[in-house]
Structures are given as structure tokens and as C-alpha cells.
Amino acid sequence: MNDALERLRTTFGFSGFRPHQKEIIGAIMDDRDVFAALPTGGGKSLCYQLPALLRDGLTVVVSPLIALMHDQVEGARQYGVPAACVNSSLDARTVSSVYHDVSSGRIRLLYASPERLKVDSFRSALREWGVSLFAIDEAHCISEWGHEFRPDYRLLATLRSDYPGTPIAAFTATATRRVQDDIVKTLGLRAPLIVRGDFDRREIFYRVERKEKVADQILSFVREHRDQPGIVYRSTRKAVDQCAAYLNHRGIAAAAYHAGLSDVERGTNQDLFVRDEIQVIVATIAFGMGIDKSNVRWVVHGDLPRSLEAYYQETGRAGRDGVTAQACLFYGPQDIAGIRYHIDRLQSEQERERATTQLREMLRFADSGQCRRVGLLAHFDQQHGGNCGACDVCAGDVERTDRTTEAQMAMSAVVRTGQRFGAHHIVDVVTGSLTERVERLGHNRLPTFGVSSVHPRGFWLDLIGDLESAGLLRREGPKSGLTVTPAGKLVLFAKERFMAVDRPPRVDGGRAASAGAARRASTGDEGDPMPLRPSQEALFERLRELRRDLARGQGVPPYVIFSDRTLIAMARIRPTTRMALLRVHGIGDVKAERYGDAFLETIVRFVRGDDPGADDAVVDGDGS
């Protein structure tokens, strides 16, 4: 393992392992199978890239998408890891030159699609080369319980018996038990090391807001995060197109991404985003898995996602470099109606039930007024004590109003109508609407009929939703009536109060504060986040421009050259010598050789004061 640590420093420029990396790499070095569920940004690729360098022979990485493969290869190469891929987009000449490089030992890491492993010529080539490790990326694609099932991943089921002597390491960011069991069973892993990481993404600040005029809300969010790349998720193609156009119209470089566009359009728009040529991509759920972009600074949802799993994975695309990022969800009652409509049209009873459970879990997250992390992590069977300090609830941004009286009115109507009716009928009773059903059942003669004419219908529907997510009202199934729970009775009989969450539209002027928060970053190493000072920001911008120019020159995404974290560390430490540069997070020998001079030159020019922003003394060294 000393070799591993040495390699980690010299090749990757990292000072230590992230949680579980050492354990996983150790097991692979001992020829053991591995199942590892680590969150996005947890550093899964290093877990097989490092062994690929340390072990004799070839490491084969199975990856689901061609686009993803190319970026992974590029990322590895930038560190000086000899990597290549074979897939259907390459012509025969290229493939045969890759084969040649593998057999001569020049390539140590080969990315391939699952289908490729079934191709005879490829199989015999593998036999000839000898495979030292199989790494299965995005392993949840093998499970129908995952959110991205891909039938071709089933082809991997025979890998274990086809290559009895070769360890298999499976990696995923989806960690429900069900998916884990599916992966281990289908791949036939032999007494694997099982690792489940910490799914708490501490760098992400979670916020939920009431949806009013969502286009304007998104626009002002994007304006608050000027120059920071981010993703807007919308639930329909039409909403995506409209939102992208709306942003473009107001001077924000945005493009759309959804299944209705041609492959070419989709590819182009994705590339523009990945390469930092546009700030925003507006997308349906079709977007995401194919991108490794580590410097996504925020993810906005313009509509309520259908499941917490989807929400977690989508927001997880922000902040992969470990730098603070923002997740903001806008939702309103119309979203719930939309999802319910969709659920009612699902074919099988089982699907409908699953979707209903997922919706309820999602609403509990969005409405409960509890620390967002508690709800999110419960999904992964992970406990969280709350009070995270990095969500709107913990930050005290969520206002509450005493709604005890209104809660009592609603629950009393539930009880007096026999706990058999849904929200709409209860609202009819409380607001005194004389519907045909109310009249037929005689509910207009109840004392609670029309008790309140102050609040509109929408208020009562929201309140009932809040009472449900707070566990005061319950519904057994989507079609069954509301009942009052024991906790609900405490409020009904005035033993406890009910404080409802309310979110008034956010006042503008929070701009400076939230932009500052978004630009927090750690020092050279994995330390405490600290905001950049204005002069450091100015240098950071300069370094970002340089990175973009270098990336354009090579036709690669900027983040594969250096991550945001590395640029931030440079902006703070301001190394002016090669030695100092090598001490910066994320800079190993190869990158220092390739880009060192260009970055040093920019830094030196900046600190010499050719730049108005430079007002600090030069700090040469690691600055910590």
C-alpha cells in the first residue's frame, strides 16, 4: 500500500485517500471481488485507476455510455494514466491500433461497453492479453430496481464464470439494499468486500421554495450565480424548451437537452455545457449519467421530481469536485396533481403503488420542515441527527406560522365525516361548498361545515398535505380516506400546537450573500471550506480563462485539465515555482509538466500587479 500512496501523490497530486478508497484498493490488490456504493464525487474512478497502474496486466472498465467513456479516458490520460476505449463509434483502424497498444503493454486501462465483452474477437484478444481486473462502472444499471436499468448490463452475468481468476469490482452511486443485492447476485461476486459509503454530500446546500412564477424564480437564481455552470431540470420537453428560450432571451447562455432533440443537437448542447462554453443546460431527466463534469456549481429543479432517488442523483451532479454547491427545488401543488395524474395512468397496480410511495417520500422531504438531510439520507437507510447547517431549514430560512386552529378545523372535519374521505371532500366541508356529495351525505349539517371562509381552497389542500407529511393525518393507500393519527389527536385536543412551514417568496438582495456562499472552497487539501477574498476571486477568474483556452486547444472539457478545487487552491496559495505548484491539490507530475508553466506565468503576472485585483503579498509555498 506504500506504492499506492506514493502513486496517489505523484500521479494524481492528492495528499491522502478519500474514505474507503484505501480499503477498496487493498482488496483489489489482494485479488478480491468488491462491491462499492459511494456517492457521486466519492472518488470511485481512482479505486480502479490506481490498481490499473499498480497491477501487472490490463484493467478493463465496463461503462454504459460512449460519451462517458471518452471523457473518462481523457480524464485518465490527463493524469498520465495510459487509457483507451473500444466502442462502436470507432472505425476498424482505430480499434486495431488500440489493440496493438494494449498487446504491447502501452495501454493499461481499457474502457469497453458490456456488449463488447460478448464479441468473439474481443474475447479472444482479452484471453491473449490476460485481464488483471474488471471494474464495472455504474453497476446499478444491472438492476431493474435502479433508476437507470440497461438490459445490456445483463450480459455481464457470465463474467464471473468466464474469467474465474480475475477479480471483479463493481461501483455505483445507488445504494438502496435492493440494488446492492441485485448487483452482487447477478454478477455472482465471490465473498466480495462490501463497502457502503457515507451518502451525505456535505458540500451541497439544499433548499426548497414554493413555486410562484417559476421562470422568473429560475432566472433570478441563475443571475445570483453568475458565471457558475449549472443544470435546470424540468419535467417536460416543452417546459425545457421554454425555459431555455426564456433564459437566452435575457442574456444567459443556456441550451436545452431532452429526448425530443436529435442525437446531434443533444451531443452539441451537452458538449457546449461540459466545455464551459455555455453556463446553463436546461434538461429533462434524460440528462445526467453521461456527464462527469466536476464543476457543476448548482442544480435547480423547476418541478417536483418523481422520487427522492432521482432527486438525490440529479442534485448529486453538483459539487463533485468537493467545492460548495447549491441545490434548489421549486415546487407547488400543481406538481403533485401532475404526478398523481401520471400515476393514475400507470398500467400495473404494482407500478402505481411504487410510484405513490415514491411521491409520498418526496413530499415528506419537501414539506416536513425537518432538516433536509434527515429525509434524504433516510432513503439510503442512513441516520442523520439533523441540524446540518447547510440546508434552508437548518439555516433558519424556513418560516413557520402557528396553524393549530386551522389544523383542528381540518382534523375535526375528518373525524366528523367518519375518516373515510380524501382531501377534496374535507376541503368542501371546511370551506362550506355545497357539492352534490356534501348535500347527499348531509355533511352540510355538520358543525364544521363552512367553519372558515378566510382561506381559499388551495390553502386547505396545502394544509392537509402538511398534516400528512407531519404524520398527523394518514392515508393507507392512494384511494383510501384520511384518518387522524395519535399524534394528530394531540393537536386536535389542544395538547400540542401545529407549526406549519411557510415560504414567502424570497426577497432579492440575498445576492451577495449567496454568491459568496457558492464560492466557498477548501484550501489546498480537503479542509474546511472558506470563501475566497475578492483579489483571490480575480485570480481564480484569470485561471479559469486560461484553463478554458487550454481545453479549447485540445478539444477536451476544462475540468479534466484541472478541477475547480485545484484552481481555487492556486488562487489562494499563488504558487510561483514548480515545487510550490506540485504541492497544490490535484497537480501530479504529468500535469505539472504539461500545464505548469502556463499557470505559473499567469499567477506571476497577476501578483506582479499587471492586474488591478492583486493587492495581497505574494505567498510562495503551500500557504497553510
CA 413 to chain CA mean position, Å: 42
Binding of residue 524 to ligand ADP (CB under 6 A): no
Cα separation of the two ends of the chain: 27
Cβ proximity of 276 and 229 under 8 Å: yes
Binding of residue 394 to Zn ion (CB under 5 A): yes
Figure out which of the listed residues 74, 309, 314, 321 binds ligand ADP, where binding follows CB under 6 A: 321
Task: Write each residue from 253 to 292 as x if it is in contact with ligand ADP (CB under 6 A), else as -, in one continuous string.
Answer: ---------------------------------------x
Q: Identify the residue whose cell numbers are 443571475.
A: 223
Q: Dump the DSSP string for 108-128.
A: -EEEE-TGGGG-HHHHHHHHH
Number of H helices, E strands in the chain: 26, 19
- Please state the closest distance from residue 44 (CB atom) to ligand ADP, in A: 3
Q: Which is nearer to Zn ion, 363 or 394 (CB)?
A: 394
Cβ proximity of 393 and 369 under 8 Å: yes
- Please state the closest distance from residue 46 (CB atom) to ligand ADP, in A: 4
Q: Residue 394 binds what, of Zn ion, ligand ADP, none (CB under 5 to 8 Å, by partner type)?
A: Zn ion
Q: Dihedral sign, CA of 42, 47, 53, 57?
A: negative
Q: Dump the DSSP string for 228-249.
A: --EEEE-SSHHHHHHHHHHHHH
Figure out which of the listed residues 41, 230, 302, 588 binds ligand ADP, where binding follows CB under 6 A: 41
Residue 383 burial (C-beta neighbours within 10 Å; 0-12, 13-18, 19+):
exposed
Cell numbers found for residue 321? 469536485
Q: Which is nearer to ligand ADP, 146 or 369 (CB)?
A: 146
Figure out which of the listed residues 371, 491, 492, 539 binds Zn ion, where binding follows CB under 5 A: 371
- Span of 31-39, 312-320, 365-373, 572-580 interacting with Zn ion by CB under 5 A: 365-373
Q: Residue 388 binds what, of ligand ADP, Zn ion, none (CB under 5 to 8 Å, by partner type)?
A: Zn ion
Cell numbers found for residue 445? 349539517
Binding of residue 38 to ligand ADP (CB under 6 A): yes
Cβ proximity of 482 and 474 under 8 Å: yes
Cβ proximity of 322 and 296 under 8 Å: no
Q: Residue 46 binds what, of ligand ADP, Zn ion, none (CB under 5 to 8 Å, by partner type)?
A: ligand ADP
- Please state the closest distance from residue 42 (CB atom) to ligand ADP, in A: 4
Structural element, H or E, at residue 180: helix 177-187
Residue 188 burial (C-beta neighbours within 10 Å; 0-12, 13-18, 19+):
middle
- Span of 58-66, 295-303, 370-378, 477-485 interacting with Zn ion by CB under 5 A: 370-378
Residue 178 is classified by DSSP as H
Q: Are β-strands 399-402 and 34-37 bridged in parallel, bridged antiparallel, or unpaired?
A: unpaired
Q: How many residues bind Zn ion (CB under 5 A)?
A: 4
- Span of 287-295, 394-402, 556-564, 600-608 interacting with Zn ion by CB under 5 A: 394-402
- Please state the closest distance from residue 500 (CB atom) to ligand ADP, in A: 38
CA trace torsion 120, 123, 128, 134 (10° rounding): 170
Q: Which is nearer to ligand ADP, 506 or 591 (CB)?
A: 591
Q: Which is nearer to ligand ADP, 46 or 538 (CB)?
A: 46
Binding of residue 391 to Zn ion (CB under 5 A): yes
Binding of residue 14 to ligand ADP (CB under 6 A): yes
- Span of 36-44, 80-88, 416-424, 485-493 interacting with ligand ADP by CB under 6 A: 36-44
Interacting residues with Zn ion (CB under 5 A) = 371, 388, 391, 394
Interacting residues with ligand ADP (CB under 6 A) = 14, 17-18, 21, 38, 40-46, 292, 294, 320-321, 563
